[in-house]
Chains A and B, each alone.
Chain A
Amino acid sequence: MKRSAPGAIALVLLVLAGACLHGNFLSPRVGLDLLSDNAVLGVAVLGTTCVLVAGGLDLSIGSLAALASVVLARLLGDAGVSPAVAIPIVLAMGALLGLLQGAVVVAFGLQPFLVTLAGMFLFRGVALSLAQESIPIRDPRWTGLATASLPLPGGHALRAGGVVFAAVFVLWALFGARSRFVARLHAVGGDERSALLLGVPVRTTKLAVHALSGATAALAGVLFAAASSSGSSIACSGLELDAIAAAVVGGVALGAGGGTFRGGGRGGAAGAFLGVLVFGVIADLILFQGTLSAGWTRVAMGGMLLLFLALHRALAGVGSPAIGR
């Protein structure tokens, strides 16, 4: 059975539950907003999933997203750079910072957990030193981009964030998911030594996956800036752990063999996107209920995570002993 199946089933069940409880839950608008509202996490989860599949970990993405939003706001505001130039600069910066962390991991053989923990502190620190308070973005060209929406039949429209989330999802499904790069990620995450002996360029793959994670984190920061019309150094805190949780719900395996943070090699980004949508629907359900406090969202997310661990465990059966052990 496909590892993303439990995620898909749960998504359908949750949406059906919403439809039964609330008459207007199935409206196209709720579905479109689901994409737009969860775009930041949805984009970031792509990089996180790839890193996890390769047996690594990236704790720096929340801080990197915040840094990206601040740098973008500075470029647009103080420097007066056009968005067409500023966005590529910010994405390149994210990829470069990710690459640097990957280089430290590869060159010195250090644990990704600790290297990206250092990155997490560093990027947040740099972001804070660039701006202690949130910087509003008033550039009309940016506002035009950020508030643009894709008109859809039936008078509906998909906001910019949702467009990017959907585009990333579709592009990844078409070109990324079956690429040689992803095959290499699985090889490295499954058994690094075997991969090396089989001629997989392990070091290059690790560098590339950290660069990808940095780039998607920066894109998440750009989407945050679009949604809030500002750059904020305290944005996206906790994004890294939410992304890991979404990936797990989507069937990404963490850890094989001994040690605290080793392994991976199973699952894919398509499942992780489902995981993001599952969390989004839970948040929507609690919002629709109206009387439940925000605490319930976290409790439901944790409960969902637990349920999925049990499901994956049951589905994995006797043949493969489960969540990567």
Chain B
Amino acid sequence: MKSRALPAALSLALLLAVAAVFVPHFLEFDVHGGRLHGALADILQRGAPLALLALGLTPVIATGGVDLSVGSVMALASSCAAVAVARGESGAAAAAGIALGVGLAAGLANGLLVTRASIQPIVATLVLLTAGRGLAVLVSGGGILAFESEGLEELGRGAFAGFPSAGLLALAITIATAALVRGTTLGLHIEAIGDNERAARLSGLRVDRVRLAAYAFSGLCAGAAGLLVAADVGAADASHVGLYQELDAILAVVIGGTSLAGGRTSLAGSWCGALAIQALSTIFLFLGLGTPIALCVKAAAVLAAVAGAKLWTRRAEATA
């Protein structure tokens, strides 16, 4: 079980080690405004929304499903929160509540489509992928909606003990979720459903309830990710927030050692996967290399991760 997160953790460590050797000033950091600044802090901070998305997607994928709507839900949640704050009717806490509520509602809608209406997950969540961004544009009125809120700024750009608070928050939520999932029978139920839904159903697991909860959690995480992005930038951009993030998040989950065929899962691995993807972007930013090369390297990383995962499982099966 512990070995599942290992390839992702090693990849992240390797990536950072290579960067530390070859990228000038990569490990340097300085402190101003009571917060660490530097490449590593940047990865922790900017990787937080993706880490949250990947965290939410992990149980969904582990139960043999998928949630394609997370990027659009992010946009919708950030737009709703931004509108609430910009109108001056609500404070930071209310805005956070709105973003999380929107995410939870979207996740429940996805979950009900999958469990009650028995619609294939990739299609069911395609509905909100399409409509969610449209709703976000309608809510925010099109363009970029800027707002000012000290509370949200503290959440998005603040620091806790010197470390970026958004990054720490994502890490803390990941650890709490992992403790909940591994400390109770929930993790076993999730993997049993992903491994063989029929067998799980026949053994008396409440399959639909677990799956509904997984989608609801995914929506909630997408809402939180949307909130973090809006808080970081101080604005909501309905057309661009979270665009294609669902694919990056799925990628992070796969790099993290969760199988797309369902049944194997690692929350810690997903967090490492998300940070590894962010680390790639940050490294390219540091090197001053453009998007074209970054995209090509990302393609190579996908193939390497997939091939690596394949070899890893094959070896694990051979030794088992």
Contacts and interface: CB of A to CB of B under 8 A. Distances in A.
Interface of A: 59, 104, 108-111, 113-115, 117-122, 124-126, 128-129, 132, 241, 244-245, 248, 253-255, 258-263, 293-303, 305-306, 309-310, 313, 321-325
Given A113-B260, A122-B295, A302-B128, A258 B196 contact: yes
Contacts of A262: 261
20 contacts: A113-B260, A117-B251, A118-B303, A122-B299, A125-B295, A132-B290, A241-B68, A241-B129, A248-B126, A254-B122, A258-B196, A260-B64, A260-B260, A296-B138, A298-B137, A301-B131, A302-B130, A305-B123, A306-B131, A322-B119
Interface residues of B, number: 55
- What 7 pairs between A and B have smallest CB-CB spacing? A302-B131, A298-B134, A125-B295, A295-B137, A122-B299, A129-B292, A299-B134
A258 B296 contact: no
A306 B109 CA distance: 11
B18 interface: no
Contact of A305 (B121, B127, B292, B306): B127
Interface string B291-320: 111111011101100110010000000000
B123 A248 contact: yes
Contacts of B250: 113, 117
Contacts of A309: 113, 117, 119, 123-124, 127
Interface in B89-128: 113, 117-124, 126-128
Given A118-B299, A121-B298, A258 B262 contact: yes
B293 A129 contact: yes
Contact of A128 (B133, B261, B291): B291
B247 interface: yes
B132 interface: yes
A313 B119 CA distance: 8
Given A295-B137, A325-B118, A121 B295 contact: yes
Contacts of A59: 247
Interface of B: 61, 64-66, 68, 113, 117-124, 126-138, 141-142, 194, 196-197, 238, 247, 250-251, 254, 260-262, 290-296, 298-300, 302-303, 306-307, 310
B127 A302 contact: yes
Given A248-B126, A306-B127, A323-B119, A260 B293 contact: no
B90 to A, nearest CB: 23
Contact of B135 (A110, A255, A299): A299
B310 to A, nearest CB: 7
A244 B126 contact: yes
A298 B123 contact: no
For the complex, would chain A's binding face be called helix, strand, loop or mixed by DSSP majority? helix
A305 B123 CA distance: 9
B303 A115 contact: yes
A110 B142 contact: no
Contacts of B130: 241, 245, 298, 301-302, 305
Contacts of A321: 118
Contacts of A303: 131
Contacts of B64: 258-260
A255 B125 CA distance: 14
A324 B194 CA distance: 17
Contacts of B124: 309
A6 to B, nearest CB: 14
B168 to A, nearest CB: 30
A196 to B, nearest CB: 19
A259 B259 CA distance: 9
A323 B118 contact: yes
B139 to A, nearest CB: 8
B296 A295 contact: no
A126 B303 CA distance: 16
A313 B124 CA distance: 12
Given A111-B261, A241-B126, A244-B122, 6 more contacts: A110-B307, A260-B61, A301-B134, A302-B128, A303-B131, A310-B117
Contacts of B291: 125, 128
Contacts of A299: 131, 134-135, 138
A179 B64 CA distance: 33
B134 A296 contact: yes
A243 B241 CA distance: 22
